[in-house]
Amino acid sequence: MSGWSHRHVIDLAAFSLADYATVLELAQRFRALPLSGARRLPALQGRLMTSLFIEPSTRTRSSFELAARRLSADVQSFSPAASSLSKGESLLDTARTYVAMGANVLVVRHRCAGVPHTLARDLDRCGERVAVLNAGDGLHSHPSQGLLDLFTLARQFSPAAPTPEALRGKRIVIVGDVLHSRVARSNLWALTACGASVVLCGPPTLLPQQFAAFVAAPPPGQRQDPVAERGSIEISRSLEQALPGADAVMTLRLQKERMHQQLLTSLDRYHRQFGLSHRRLELCGRAVPVLHPGPVNRGVELAGELLDDPKHSLVEEQVRNGIPIRMALLYLLAAAEGPPPAATPAGDGLKAV
Ligand code: ASP
């Protein structure tokens, strides 16, 4: 793909507008194809994707595995409890074992921020030809979720041409546990790159004021921001203030497993102040879509009836869009490893067989 220069995908802070456009365009093409069962694209025939998930996952892992199969890649899955990690092997040595078996892409999830980055750097140093795709690391980053959220919103605002442009000038409210959310962080890079105005909403314990400057400078280790001009970030402490004029609302799960202290007085109170319901949503002044990365705590961040209401809820659509987005990422990374896809009998491998 012209202009695509990433060997690994670790953090959306490194994405330019052209990168977003490339991923969205490929995802839109994949989304339009009737792929299921034996009907696949030959694009990644002979390539191997290995998923190394050292933290639980329902959607992301199965979505990556399905995406790889739809591109005819081989898929290998690693279970930490039944592996040599439990015998003391380092993650780098485990990863190198899979590379020796032929892995072209390692999809890595870890509860500690920075692990996919360190792994990618160490594998590069060892001279291994393998791409690392971050599938969520601690509080840091979840690029494929940020991209599928972007794709879902772009398709909502501009169904015929879901490009980054579709987000320009939109007011997107993100409400909830921003502090512990890698999804929010990835969305902040993606949405502001596309020119959206983001309103973050939550109590100070879950949304420190410093988030207003989240995209003001690239993260440590990255020399410059590849995006010349970003949309704004505003902090709000009340939904009554944040919702009027919103074009979409994204709710976040309370990440209880990452809260090391009592950050809320009660879940009931949280729901009353920051939970979304049909009534609350009326504050937007028109019917707006609601997103949630899942898993959802029903009745806490989102009322059950709203989650199940197809007039508003894009939650299932997000899951559906996750597959073409992950196909796009795998295609871009794995196609760069090994012989070019154009060398396959079916041209660039993007015609279904
Ligand atoms: N599934 C998302 C993640 O892995 C969101 C969540 O767990 O709340 O970060």
Which residue owns the Cα nearest ligand 1 atom 4? 136
From 183, 188, 250, mutation site for ligand 1 pocket: most ligand atoms within 8 A of C-beta:
183
Ligand 1 mean position, distance from CA 78 (Å)? 20
In a domain, 212, yes or no: yes
Residues 6+ apart with CB under 8 A from 346: 42, 353
Q: Is the CB of 47 under 6 A from ligand 1?
A: no
In a domain, 203, yes or no: yes
Co-location of 324 and 309 in the same domain:
no
Co-location of 178 and 229 in the same domain:
yes
Co-location of 73 and 217 in the same domain:
no
CATH of the domain at 175: 3.40.50.1370
pLDDT in tens, the chain (353 residues): 668 999 999 999 999 999 999 999 999 999 998 766 668 899 999 999 999 999 888 899 999 999 999 999 999 998 776 666 767 789 999 999 999 999 999 999 999 999 999 999 999 999 999 999 999 999 999 999 999 999 999 999 999 999 999 999 999 999 999 999 999 999 999 999 999 999 999 999 999 999 999 999 999 999 999 999 999 999 999 999 999 999 999 999 988 776 666 677 778 888 899 999 999 999 999 999 999 999 999 999 999 999 999 999 999 999 999 999 999 999 999 877 655 554 444 456 777 76
Co-location of 303 and 330 in the same domain:
no
Co-location of 174 and 280 in the same domain:
yes
What is the reported pLDDT for 307? Answer: 97
Ligand 1 mean position, distance from CA 293 (Å)? 6
Co-location of 153 and 272 in the same domain:
yes
Which residue owns the Cα nearest ligand 1 atom 8? 253
Co-location of 228 and 238 in the same domain:
yes
Co-location of 308 and 173 in the same domain:
yes
Ligand 1 mean position, distance from CA 129 (Å)? 29
What is the reported pLDDT for 342? Answer: 43
In a domain, 348, yes or no: no
Q: Is the CB of 136 under 6 A from ligand 1?
A: yes
| Overall number of domains in the chain | 2
Ligand 1 mean position, distance from CA 289 (Å)? 19
What is the reported pLDDT for 339? Answer: 57
Q: Is the CB of 292 under 6 A from ligand 1?
A: no
Give the pTM: 0.94
Q: Is the CB of 178 under 6 A from ligand 1?
A: no
Q: Is the CB of 253 under 6 A from ligand 1?
A: yes
Instruction: Give the domain range for residue 291.
Output: 143-315
142 CA: nearest ligand 1 atom? 9
